Amino acid sequence: MNASTRRGVRFSLSRILILALLAGKCALAGVRLASPFADGMVLQRDASVPVWGVADPGERVTVEFAGQRVAATAGADGRWIVRLAPMAASREGRVLRANGATVSDVLVGEVWFCCGQSNMEVPLVGEPGYGDREGRLVAAITRLGDVRYALASSGEWSPAPREAARRPVRWRSFTPENLGRAPSFSAVGVHFALALHAALGVPVGIVGAYRGGTNIDAWTPREGYADAPEALAATRDWPTADPGEWTDAMKSGAVNGPEQQPSVLWNEMVAPWRPMAMRGVIWYQGEHNAGEGDLYRLKMHALRRGWARAFGNRNLKLYFVQLAPWKSSWWDIWMAQAAFAAEEPNAGMVVTADIGNSHSIHPADKGPVGRRLAALALKRDYGFSDIVADSPTIRAVRAEGDRLVLDFNDADGWYIYSDDRRDSVPFELAGEDGEYRPARIVNAAYGGQKAETAGVEQGQVAGRELVLRAEGVPRPLKVRYLFQRPWTSALFAMSGLPPGPFEADVRK
């Protein structure tokens, strides 16, 4: 029996055992709702809402909520599912019933998942040095009964998708008592939910599934690899080791431990929530896969594709965070993240080139991260067309003698700002010899120096284009930004958003 066959047998046996256990419990306890359905939950508005669970085989199950009454019959395996018709947002805490099972204080609003590794896991309030910089203040002043979170993170992994959460799900409201408990919920997730609630004025529910030191592979369901390119064959065909079977000889690529095997964190923390109706996912991960370069782009496609398929939502949104600057360059993965964002219409990328910390891989300012993620959602999903939510991206490059002129999307003007008042912005130009040299923005004023373009105030740039010049490059052909240390942006569009790292040439 080969490894693939053994994995299939283990999966089948695990699934049979789970269903048998659930069926046995149902025989004793009657109808049971799936793990997400717990007191205080938030249902997705303006969408068909699946409600599911287990019961005795053949049992008739009737779900009642908000004036709706929908019925289904449990199959031979005890499973049943119904779908509620789309509902408007409601702050009224109502009861959802499925025969004798009830869930109280159920709201209707916007539902999102937040997922990733340690930068998503950083709590609003945590141990000293590991938490949001203003987390305790935010927790102390936040009293929102209609914004709620549920933690799906168990800290464990599973070789096969779980039908039910390992521990009971608890929905908690955004209050000082809940948010101020260390470690509390994801700081990025909290700031994202707060920004959505402030703009939309409807209930918000956010689910957290994250674990430090994890790779993208472990969070990607098998559905994501169904039609993946051959470059992902090793991940697609990975023979998952059960607990107790792992040996260090199995290490390969980004998989350095049993909890990093493909799909195992998805199986444990996310699978019990499918097919819950939700708007999308916010994602902050990549440090563990930083050495993979363009392969990470393909893995991000597999991640979004897999989540969309598993949740039955082809337009599932994935808004993610480009890695923040640190003590070494993330250049290759920065390029992969940007390329994925450009290719996937249901994705959007937040740039954090201005809020990194060279001394810590976990920058403490999570507020800007959460708000920038929320801005993407507000513009793309909720009709806030007046928001400039995207960081500038290069649109065209043209040469004018010894200068290179850059035109950008999402930039109507520019300014330069840095805490240390440094007088340069890390652009580089290269000519026919291909050697990059430091460049300056010549239509800007630096410090007390006079700009080459008259009438420009200190720190501002004239016009919406950037004009660059580099000593020793008489005919510039290429440009790159943030390739060199310190990898931190001091350049901002008038929106307040920085451009991310990029490279381009005059043919673009």
The predicted-structure confidence for 170-205, as pLDDT tens digits, reads as follows 999 999 999 998 889 999 999 999 999 999 999 999
Judge if 285 and 419 occupy the same domain: no
What pLDDT sits at residue 420?
A: 55
Q: Is residue 217 part of a domain?
A: yes
18 band by pLDDT with thresholds 50, 70 and 90: very low
Assess contact for 399 and 314: CB atoms under 8 A: no
What pLDDT sits at residue 19?
A: 45
* DSSP one-letter string for 251-300: -BTTB-SGGGSTTHHIIIIIGGGTT---SEEEEE--GGGGGGTTHHHHHH
Mean pLDDT of all residues belonging to the chain? 90
Judge if 293 and 340 occupy the same domain: yes
Rounded to an integer, what distance in angstroms lies between the CA atom of residue 122 and that of residue 133?
Answer: 11
In this prediction, residues 276-297 reach a mean pLDDT of 97
What pLDDT sits at residue 250?
A: 95
Judge if 223 and 366 occupy the same domain: yes
| Sheet with strand 32-33: strands edge to edge | 32-33, 49-54, 79-84
Q: Which of 390, 407, 439 marks a domain boundary?
A: 390
Assess contact for 107 and 42: CB atoms under 8 A: yes
Task: Please state, as a whole number, how many other Cβ atoms lie within 10 Å of the Cβ of residue 82.
Answer: 18
* Domains contained in the chain, number: 2
Q: Smallest Cα–Cα separation from 219: which of 295, 114, 324? A: 114
Judge if 402 and 269 occupy the same domain: no
Q: How far is CA 323 from the centre of its chain?
A: 12
25 band by pLDDT with thresholds 50, 70 and 90: very low
Q: Strand 414-416 vs strand 403-409: parallel, antiparallel, or unpaired?
A: unpaired
In this prediction, residues 303-312 reach a mean pLDDT of 97
Rounded to an integer, what distance in angstroms lies between the CA atom of residue 90 and that of residue 107?
Answer: 6
In this prediction, residues 1-22 reach a mean pLDDT of 44
Judge if 379 and 416 occupy the same domain: no
Q: Is residue 6 part of a domain?
A: no
Judge if 397 and 341 occupy the same domain: no
Rounded to an integer, what distance in angstroms lies between the CA atom of residue 406 and that of residue 464?
Answer: 9
Judge if 448 and 355 occupy the same domain: no
Q: Return the C-alpha torsion angle 211, 215, 220, 226, nearest 10.
A: -170
What pLDDT sits at residue 17?
A: 40
Judge if 352 and 403 occupy the same domain: no
Judge if 198 and 309 occupy the same domain: yes
| Residues 454-472: tens digit of each pLDDT | 333 447 788 899 999 999 9
508 band by pLDDT with thresholds 50, 70 and 90: low
Assess contact for 451 and 467: CB atoms under 8 A: no
What pLDDT sits at residue 29?
A: 52
Say whether pLDDT at 279 is over 50: yes
Assess contact for 392 and 409: CB atoms under 8 A: yes
Q: Smallest Cα–Cα separation from 208: which of 289, 276, 269? A: 269
| Residues 131-165: tens digit of each pLDDT | 999 999 999 999 999 999 999 977 899 999 999 99
490 band by pLDDT with thresholds 50, 70 and 90: confident
Q: Is residue 43 part of a domain?
A: no
| Residues 312-344: tens digit of each pLDDT | 999 999 999 999 999 888 999 999 999 999 999
Say whether pLDDT at 12 is over 50: no
Q: Is residue 84 part of a domain?
A: no
Q: Is residue 8 part of a domain?
A: no
6 band by pLDDT with thresholds 50, 70 and 90: very low
User: Which element (helix H / strand E) includes 118?
Assistant: helix 118-121
Q: Which of 359, 390, 421 marks a domain boundary?
A: 390
Judge if 313 and 407 occupy the same domain: no
CATH code of 183's domain = 3.40.50.1110
C-alpha separations of 316 from 277, 299, 363 in Å: 10, 16, 28
Judge if 379 and 403 occupy the same domain: no
User: Which residue intervals of 30-66 are DSSP H helices?
Assistant: none
Q: What is the largest CA-CA distance in the chain?
A: 82
Q: Is residue 206 part of a domain?
A: yes
Assess contact for 481 and 502: CB atoms under 8 A: yes
Assess contact for 325 and 358: CB atoms under 8 A: yes
DSSP single-letter state for residue 252: B
Judge if 437 and 362 occupy the same domain: no
Q: Is residue 97 part of a domain?
A: no
Assess contact for 44 and 62: CB atoms under 8 A: no
Helix, strand or coil, per DSSP, at residue 310: helix
Rounded to an integer, what distance in angstroms lies between the CA atom of residue 117 and that of residue 287?
Answer: 8
What pLDDT sits at residue 103?
A: 98
In this prediction, residues 75-97 reach a mean pLDDT of 98
Provide the domain limits for residue 216: 116-390
Q: Smallest Cα–Cα separation from 400: which of 476, 456, 345? A: 476
Tell me the whole-structure pTM to 2 decimals: 0.91
Q: Is residue 100 part of a domain?
A: no
Q: Which of 390, 425, 456 marks a domain boundary?
A: 390
What pLDDT sits at residue 8?
A: 46
Q: Calculate what percentage of the chain has a pLDDT beyond 90.
A: 81
Assess contact for 281 and 115: CB atoms under 8 A: yes
